[in-house]
Structure 1
Amino acid sequence: MLIIGAGLSGIGAAWRLQQRCDWTYAVLEARDHIGGTWDLFRYPGVRSDSDMFTLSYAFHPWRGKKSLADGDSIRRYIEDTAREHGVDRHIHYGTKVVAASWSWKRSRWVVETREGRDSRVWTCSFLYICAGYYDYERGHQPEFAGVEQFGGRFVHPQFWPEDLDTTGKRVVVIGSGATAVTLIPSLATTAAHVTMLQRSPTYLAALPDVDRMADVLRRHLPARIAHTLIREKNVLSSQLTYWLSRRFPEQTKRQLRRSALRFLADPAYLDRHFTPRYEPWDQRLCVVPNGDFFRAVATGKASVVTDRITRFVENGIVLDSGELLEADVIVSATGLSLMPFGGINLSVDGHAVNMANATAYRGLMLSGVPNLAFCVGYTNASWTLRADMSTRYVVRLLDYMRRHGYATAMPTLPPGRARRPLLGLTSNYVQRSAHLFPQQGERDPWVVSQNYLLDRLAFVFTDLRKGMVFDGRNPAS
């Protein structure tokens, strides 16, 4: 097997594979380091908004102090996991997969990679793409009128310059998503002032970055048992919170408002800049550890402006209202670009796979494509929860194929089924790229659930044969 990507998903998949199967495997990583997203993002204050007891692996307990951890700590955790469990010996760095072609005659994938200026061909009987869905080479960048006239530094968080020092500078951060909300408290500690410029507000939830109950359990129980209990507690809590938010949106809005007012004393300011037009969890909720974003605004080190950009000028940004936001540094936290399957060109017997026309089978395989799985996480819970469940399903499928002497497993979609988007969020970054991704169906096994508790039962007891066509001889690796 070939596993594409050495981030959270890829390392977890490799561990599961070597625990349950005797198949040989290699991990191909396009970057020069382990960690995936957590190696790519190096902007100030980068952190997770998912708790580490559910974002971490079930088999490797999180030992950090903070439940909401910074990016460096998460990257080191992934590195430690790979090294401790021997996965790092299987990783090939600087190996970017550019194309993969399935041959029915050979029952194998032929995978083309680029390694610097050199190219190489790999073959495998099963391909598992754990490359996430971010475009690592390009972030989303709108066209701003007059941007070339700006006399200061203009940067995108995805490619944060190592030499950028914002100490004593006036900084404007364009955007109101998780990246902007993360950046601003960090920049505000040394900048002269930081302004968040948003077109429209985002829901923010202030949560403690330390799980007190987790600390108690870890003091009195063995690490593995404590980790399991904390993980289950947090899963139940997050799933209940999501369900209540969707079932009772008005009550959720009031609760979020009350929480924010603990830090911001001006209700009018809160209503103007922190009251979104959409319902909670139509877009992913932004977590604010210890209310740090609100605290930065309350102290005057940061502020929020809700308006639209007319044009850039030499010393800042002119808004539709006519106001001039003066700036020495402008950060375009305008979102990420999504790209399915790491941009790999897939084909079956020479025929290109059209992602937009494909339908996702259980959210992890593609209709009409044999011996290929992909890994995406939840949009309403920790990525790793669904990634690990997908991997366990793949391992179970491989075991089944071996026991029955099958070389291939291919999901086959019945004709005439309705389809809808794979990623069910209204966020701009998702909607911009929805047409590039496979669709999902309306019925099992073609529907993609966002309920971890139901999925956990379904994935264990599901019939592997449903919607799947098996054929051929037993593969070797």
Structure 2
Amino acid sequence: MTDSSPIPTNDTPNMAATGEAAAAPASSPATDGPPAGDGHSHDVIIIGAGLSGIDCAYWLLEQNPGCDYLVLERRQRVGGTWDLFRYPGVRSDSDIYSLSYPFEPWAKPGALAEGADIRDYIEHTARKFGIAEHIRFEQHVLTADWDSDSDTWTLGVEVGEGDEKRHESYRCRFVVFATGYYDYDRPYTPRFAGVEDFTGQIVHPQHWPEDLDYRGKRIVVIGSGATAVSLIPNLTDKAAHVTMLQRSPSYIFSAKQKQYLVPVVRKLLPAGAAHRVIRWRYAAQTAAIVHLTHRFPKLGRKLIRANVAANLPEDYPVDVHFNPTYNPWDQRMCMVPDADLFSGITEGSIEMVTDHIDRFDETGVRLTSGRHLDADIIVTATGLQLLGFGGTRLVVDGDEVKPHDRFVFKSHLLEDVPNFAWSVGYTNASWTLRADMTARSVANLVRYMRENGYTHAYPHLGDEPMTAQPLWDLQAGYVERSPDALPKSGTRGHWRVRHNYYRDAIDHRISRVEDSMVFGPVAPLGGSRR
């Protein structure tokens, strides 16, 4: 580390002058009090080894050679979402070219990728760029405590599983939460009357049993979102019959897996350049579709319906099962590869039922219409529970920070919370498009702090009031159920969280690190930081 690092090394605290009087040395947080989880303080700790976490680690080192960092991962492998979900057919619900990293080409064919392949890709990337050796597994971060006297975070971590669990602490200057947005432990399951009467098996896709035997079984899948539409076609190869039971329809669109432009571009250009062109093309295509359907919702609805009808029998009641009450992209679109869901409906292995549940009984589900659905297995693909920052309790100088009380700045920094970033994706495009911008911005901020000798940085709104609005512009149930789970968006400038990749990309290029930010060195002993 150089003396301009925002993180003091264990024996050489950084006290570089920054235009103010140089700060006097503070006691090293790595040597005072109980030892950290690995015995010393780090420059940056990234929480989560999924798509976002590995992305952040790559750009952190790319812009800050020699940066001392760790990645703390709660699970036993890399992958995040793509390691957690292991139900049959789990796959991306956006094109893999924009979901993959811009610096590591995706080599496999097909626009929608299998979940296991995505996890392998994340692990390959972590190993290729030397990130894997910085990952610590089975590290569940429970608390994050900021101390302004030393400008450091102390992370309280539960390590291991079962009877071997122990508690340790890590210290760092900067923390990045790449933990996603939902609860890994508790998926959303409505309370169904009579559930205790059902004699079969009830499964939630988030906790799919590896030994579940559904061969020859009658399965009812409750739900109409991305999980249901990717799971159901993959159950038909073994199940006797599969019913998709939905309370109301979702927009579902068939996308061709075979690509024509991709192989041509790959032949004409080197792998890296080809990947960037393909990635840009898919990002542009998605942005154009979203913009068109938002601006002309009736046209969007008509085009989506035509896609569905073209893949179903002429007499099929499309408007009963595939005609949502909301406009396109008011909720996230469900993509199916090569019309696999529609093919199953046409062949008779999949039945669509749009109705309300009255109650469960011994042999299945009774609907309010009076119909009964026989089932040996019921799958509750009923959604997620929102959870900000992985459920970690945030404390700044003794005061707990509630996510919904704070505005988000530039979509990844939190109002008046020092040296803190959070990675979260788009609602209408691939997750990685924004996660990668966040990773670059964090790396750039850390570099700026190193070069200027700053040990803390945070966005400050000031005294001018600002109207709050939801972080996500979705009418999805999981968003509406938990309005206080996530930080809030403002309505102007960098405090407004947009879901427009290209506008964000332009802002990312031209915005300055200093905009609405407070910087400074650690305070002298007995002094005040602010």
* Higher share of residues assigned helix: 1
Task: Give the structure 1 partner of residue 46 of structure 2.
Answer: 3
**Contact persistence 1:68–1:210 (CA under 8 A):** no
Q: Deviations over 1:197-229 (max 9, x none)?
A: 110000001101232211221133211111111
Quote the residue 2:451 is aligned against. Answer: 403
1:32 aligns to 2:80 (yes or no): no
Tell me if structure 2 keeps the 8 A contact 1:28–1:95: yes
Distance apart, 1:268 and its partner CA: 5.2
Of 33-42 and 397-406, the range deviating more from structure 2: 397-406
CA distance in 1: counterparts of 2:449 and 2:230, whole angstroms: 45
TM-score (normalizing by structure 1):
0.98
Amino acid at match of 2:212: L
CA distance in 1, matches of 2:53, 2:483: 24
Distance 1:399 1:164 in 2: 49
Mapping for residues 324-335 of structure 1, pairs under 5 Å: 324-335=372-383
Matches within 5 A, 1:185-200: 185-200=233-248
Give the whole-Å Cα distance in 2 for the aligned partners of 1:397 and 1:426: 34
- Could you report, residue by residue, the CA deviation over 1:440-464 in whole angstroms, capped at 9, with x for unpaired residues? 1001110011111111110121122
Q: Give the distance between the partners of 1:446 and 1:52, measured in 2 at CA.
A: 29
Secondary structure of the 2:317 match is helix
**Once the two structures are superposed, what CA deviation does each residue of 1:11-40 show, in whole Å capped at 9, x if it has no partner?**
011011111103210000000111000000
Paired residues for 1:307-326 under 5 Å = 307-326=355-374
Are the aligned partners of 2:408 and 2:495 in contact in 1 as well (CA < 8 Å)? yes
Deviation string, structure 1 residues 318-343 (Cα, Å, up to 9, x no partner): 10011110011100000011100000
1:414 deviation in Å?
2.6
Q: Does structure 1 conserve the Cα–Cα contact (< 8 Å) formed by 2:175 and 2:421?
A: yes
CA distance in 2, matches of 1:262, 1:91: 48
Q: Does 1:463 align with 2:512?
A: yes
In the alignment, the residues of structure 1 paired with residue 450 and residue 374 of structure 2 have an alpha-carbon distance, to the nearest angstrom, of: 65
* Alpha-carbon distance in 1 for matches of 2:233, 2:142: 39
5+ residue gaps, structure 2, are: 1-43, 524-530
Distance in 1 between the 2:513 and 2:132 partners? 31
Determine what percentage of the aligned residue pairs are the same residue: 47
Give distance in 2, aligned partners of 1:213 and 1:267.
Answer: 35
Alpha-carbon distance between aligned partners in 1 of 2:448 and 2:176, rounded to the nearest angstrom: 17
The structural deviation recorded for 1:55 is 0.5
Matched position secondary structure for 2:192: coil
Structure 1 position 273 matched with structure 2 position 316? no
1:336 alignment partner, SS class: coil
Name the SS for the 1:32 alignment partner.
coil
Quick check: 212-221 or 352-361, which moved more?
212-221
Question: SS at 1:426's partner residue?
Answer: coil
SS in 2 for 1:384: helix
How does 1:49-448 map onto structure 2 within 5 Å? 49-116=93-160, 117-266=165-314, 269-415=317-463, 416-448=465-497
Q: After superposition, what is the alpha-carbon deviation per residue over 1:336-385, rounded to whole angstroms, capped at 9, x for unaligned?
A: 11100000000001110011111111110111110000000111111001
Contact 2:47 2:179 in 1 (8 A): yes
Q: For 1:426 and 1:196, locate their aligned partners in 2 and report how far apart those are by CA, in whole Å.
A: 22
DSSP 3-state at the match of 1:409: strand
Contact 1:261 1:267 in 2 (8 A): no
Structure 2 letter corresponding to 1:161? P
Structure with higher Rg: it is 2
Count of paired positions: 474
Residues of 2 paired with 1:308 and 1:95: CA distance?
A: 41
Q: Report the equivalent of 1:47.
A: 91
Q: Is the 8 A contact 2:150 2:522 kept in 1?
A: no
| Alpha-carbon distance in structure 2 between the residues aligned to 1:335 and 1:153 | 18
User: Runs of 5+ in structure 1 lacking a partner?
Assistant: none
Which has the larger displacement, 406-415 or 345-354?
Answer: 406-415
Q: Does the 8 Å CA contact 1:174/1:332 hold for their aligned counterparts?
A: yes
Query: Aligned AA for 1:437?
Result: L
- Residues 244-276 of structure 1: CA distance to partner in whole angstroms, max 9, x if unpaired? 010111111111111111111245511101000
Residues 148, 522 of structure 2: 8 Å contact kept = no
Are residues 1:472 and 2:472 paired? Answer: no
Is the contact made by 1:423 and 1:434 (CA closer than 8 Å) also made in structure 2? Answer: no
Structure 2 Cα separation of the partners of residues 173 and 274 of structure 1: 16
Q: Could you tell me how far apart the structure 1 residues matched to 2:192 and 2:451 are?
A: 58
The one-letter code matched in structure 1 to 2:130 is: G
Tell me the distance in 2 between the aligned counterparts of 1:406 and 1:184.
53
Contact kept, 8 Å, 1:378 with 1:386, in 2: the verdict is yes
Amino acid at match of 1:102: W
Q: Distance in 2 between matches of 1:186 and 1:414?
A: 53
What secondary structure does 2:443 align onto? helix
CA–CA distance in 2 between the matches of 1:50 and 1:259? 17
Determine the C-alpha separation between the residues in 2 that align with 1:329 and 1:294: 22
The two structures have a TM-score, normalised by structure 2, of: 0.88
> Which has the larger displacement, 407-416 or 123-132?
407-416
Moved more, 402-411 or 440-449: 402-411
**In 1, are the aligned partners of 2:192 and 2:359 still within 8 Å (CA)?**
yes
Aligned to 1:440, the other structure's residue is in SS state coil
Cα displacement string for residues 83-110 of structure 1 (whole angstroms, at most 9, x for unaligned residues): 1111000000001100010000000001
Report the 3-state secondary structure (helix = DSSP H, G, I; strand = E; otherwise coil) of the residue aligned with 1:239.
helix
Amino acid at match of 1:349: D
Q: What is the match of residue 21 of structure 1?
A: 64
The letter for the 2-side match of 1:308 is H
**Conserved? CA contact 2:73–2:140, under 8 Å:** yes
Displacement of 1:431: 1.3
Partners of 2:216 and 2:240 within 8 A in 1: yes
1:451 corresponds to 2:500: yes
Instruction: Give the root-mean-square deviation of aligned CA atoms.
Output: 1.1
Distance 2:314 2:246 in 1: 19
Give the aligned residue type for 1:221.
L
Deviation at 1:434, TM superposition (A): 2.4
